[in-house]
Amino acid sequence: MTAAILPFLFILTSALAPGAAAEPARDAALDQEFEIRVGQWVTIEGERLRVTLSRVAEDSRCPEGVQCIWAGNAKVVLKLSKARRRASTLSLNTGVDPRQGSYRGYEVRLVKLDPYPKENRPIRRRDYVATLVVSRR
Protein backbone atom coordinates (compact mmCIF):
# COMPACT_ATOMS: atom_id res chain seq x y z
CA MET A 1 0.00 0.00 0.00
CA THR A 2 1.46 3.34 -0.97
CA ALA A 3 1.84 6.20 1.48
CA ALA A 4 -0.53 8.33 -0.62
CA ILE A 5 -3.42 5.91 -0.06
CA LEU A 6 -3.09 5.73 3.74
CA PRO A 7 -4.52 9.22 4.49
CA PHE A 8 -7.47 8.48 2.19
CA LEU A 9 -8.23 5.21 4.02
CA PHE A 10 -8.03 6.98 7.39
CA ILE A 11 -10.55 9.64 6.27
CA LEU A 12 -12.86 6.99 4.81
CA THR A 13 -12.83 4.81 7.93
CA SER A 14 -13.29 7.86 10.19
CA ALA A 15 -16.36 8.92 8.25
CA LEU A 16 -17.88 5.45 8.58
CA ALA A 17 -17.07 5.06 12.28
CA PRO A 18 -19.90 4.64 14.80
CA GLY A 19 -21.17 7.99 15.96
CA ALA A 20 -20.67 9.60 12.55
CA ALA A 21 -23.52 11.80 11.38
CA ALA A 22 -26.47 9.79 10.07
CA GLU A 23 -27.22 12.43 7.43
CA PRO A 24 -25.43 15.45 6.03
CA ALA A 25 -25.88 18.79 7.76
CA ARG A 26 -28.67 21.02 6.53
CA ASP A 27 -30.41 24.33 7.18
CA ALA A 28 -33.64 25.09 9.04
CA ALA A 29 -35.64 28.28 9.55
CA LEU A 30 -36.47 30.16 12.74
CA ASP A 31 -39.92 29.40 14.19
CA GLN A 32 -40.33 26.31 12.01
CA GLU A 33 -40.26 22.68 13.14
CA PHE A 34 -37.31 20.67 11.86
CA GLU A 35 -36.09 17.13 12.37
CA ILE A 36 -32.59 16.20 13.43
CA ARG A 37 -30.96 12.80 13.93
CA VAL A 38 -28.35 11.80 16.51
CA GLY A 39 -24.98 13.05 15.32
CA GLN A 40 -26.48 15.42 12.77
CA TRP A 41 -26.19 19.19 12.92
CA VAL A 42 -28.50 21.85 11.55
CA THR A 43 -27.73 25.51 10.90
CA ILE A 44 -30.50 28.03 11.50
CA GLU A 45 -30.72 30.12 8.32
CA GLY A 46 -29.27 33.61 8.60
CA GLU A 47 -28.48 33.21 12.31
CA ARG A 48 -25.07 31.50 12.31
CA LEU A 49 -26.59 29.23 14.98
CA ARG A 50 -25.72 25.55 14.86
CA VAL A 51 -27.73 22.85 16.65
CA THR A 52 -26.40 19.31 17.06
CA LEU A 53 -28.34 16.38 18.52
CA SER A 54 -25.51 14.88 20.57
CA ARG A 55 -27.38 11.96 22.07
CA VAL A 56 -30.51 10.59 23.67
CA ALA A 57 -29.43 10.40 27.30
CA GLU A 58 -32.54 8.64 28.57
CA ASP A 59 -35.60 6.96 27.15
CA SER A 60 -37.92 5.59 29.81
CA ARG A 61 -41.15 6.25 27.88
CA CYS A 62 -43.79 3.59 28.42
CA PRO A 63 -43.82 1.34 25.34
CA GLU A 64 -46.93 1.12 23.16
CA GLY A 65 -49.26 -1.67 24.27
CA VAL A 66 -47.92 -1.75 27.84
CA GLN A 67 -49.72 -0.41 30.90
CA CYS A 68 -47.40 1.71 33.00
CA ILE A 69 -47.87 3.72 36.18
CA TRP A 70 -45.94 6.61 34.62
CA ALA A 71 -45.76 7.69 30.97
CA GLY A 72 -41.99 8.04 31.26
CA ASN A 73 -39.56 10.52 29.76
CA ALA A 74 -36.97 10.83 27.05
CA LYS A 75 -34.08 13.27 27.43
CA VAL A 76 -32.08 14.61 24.51
CA VAL A 77 -28.77 16.42 24.77
CA LEU A 78 -28.19 19.22 22.28
CA LYS A 79 -25.00 21.10 21.53
CA LEU A 80 -25.52 24.72 20.46
CA SER A 81 -22.98 27.14 19.05
CA LYS A 82 -23.22 30.58 17.48
CA ALA A 83 -20.55 31.97 15.18
CA ARG A 84 -17.20 31.38 16.89
CA ARG A 85 -18.50 31.51 20.43
CA ARG A 86 -18.08 28.70 22.90
CA ALA A 87 -20.54 25.83 22.44
CA SER A 88 -23.01 24.98 25.17
CA THR A 89 -25.09 21.89 25.94
CA LEU A 90 -28.80 21.90 26.59
CA SER A 91 -30.83 18.93 27.87
CA LEU A 92 -34.52 18.83 26.98
CA ASN A 93 -37.24 16.34 27.90
CA THR A 94 -40.41 14.92 26.40
CA GLY A 95 -42.32 14.22 29.61
CA VAL A 96 -40.92 16.48 32.35
CA ASP A 97 -39.46 19.97 32.48
CA PRO A 98 -37.44 21.44 30.94
CA ARG A 99 -38.99 20.89 27.53
CA GLN A 100 -37.44 24.08 26.25
CA GLY A 101 -34.35 26.08 27.05
CA SER A 102 -32.42 29.21 26.17
CA TYR A 103 -29.13 29.86 24.45
CA ARG A 104 -27.72 33.33 23.56
CA GLY A 105 -31.08 34.97 22.83
CA TYR A 106 -32.75 31.89 21.32
CA GLU A 107 -35.41 29.57 22.70
CA VAL A 108 -35.11 25.90 21.72
CA ARG A 109 -38.15 23.64 22.21
CA LEU A 110 -38.33 19.85 21.90
CA VAL A 111 -41.59 19.04 20.12
CA LYS A 112 -41.23 15.25 20.02
CA LEU A 113 -38.83 12.35 19.82
CA ASP A 114 -39.39 9.46 17.42
CA PRO A 115 -39.67 6.57 17.22
CA TYR A 116 -41.92 5.88 20.17
CA PRO A 117 -40.87 2.72 22.06
CA LYS A 118 -42.58 -0.59 21.37
CA GLU A 119 -42.55 -3.55 23.72
CA ASN A 120 -39.49 -5.82 23.27
CA ARG A 121 -38.12 -3.70 20.41
CA PRO A 122 -35.02 -1.72 21.36
CA ILE A 123 -34.42 1.53 19.52
CA ARG A 124 -31.06 1.90 17.82
CA ARG A 125 -29.19 5.15 18.44
CA ARG A 126 -29.21 6.03 14.75
CA ASP A 127 -33.01 5.66 14.53
CA TYR A 128 -33.81 8.53 16.91
CA VAL A 129 -35.20 11.70 15.32
CA ALA A 130 -35.95 14.78 17.40
CA THR A 131 -38.32 17.48 16.21
CA LEU A 132 -37.24 20.93 17.41
CA VAL A 133 -38.25 24.58 17.03
CA VAL A 134 -35.80 27.45 17.46
CA SER A 135 -37.14 30.98 18.04
CA ARG A 136 -35.66 34.31 19.05
CA ARG A 137 -36.50 35.36 22.61
Q: State the total domains in the chain.
A: 1
Q: Identify the pLDDT of residue 23.
A: 57
Alpha-carbon torsion (75, 96, 90, 82), positive or negative: positive
Burial degree of 44 (CB within 10 A; 0-12, 13-18, 19+) = buried
Is there a domain that residue 30 lies in?
Answer: yes
Tell me, what amino acid is at 31? D
In a domain, 48, yes or no: yes
Q: Is 4 within a domain?
A: no
How many angstroms separate the CA atoms of 119 and 42, rounded? 31
Q: Residue 130: inside a domain, yes or no?
A: yes
Taking only the tens place, the pLDDT of each residue in 38-56 is: 999 999 999 999 999 999 9
- pLDDT, position 9: 34
Q: How confident is the model at residue 100 (pLDDT cuts 50, 70, 90)?
A: very high
Is residue 26 scored above 60 in pLDDT?
A: yes
Confidence of residue 5 (pLDDT cuts 50, 70, 90): very low
CATH number of the domain enclosing 87 = 2.60.98
Which conformational region is residue 13 in: left (phi greater than 0), alpha (psi within -120 to 50 degrees), or beta? alpha
- Tell me, yes or no, whether 12 lies in a domain: no
Q: Which residues span the domain enclosing 42?
A: 21-136
- Average pLDDT for 116-127: 93
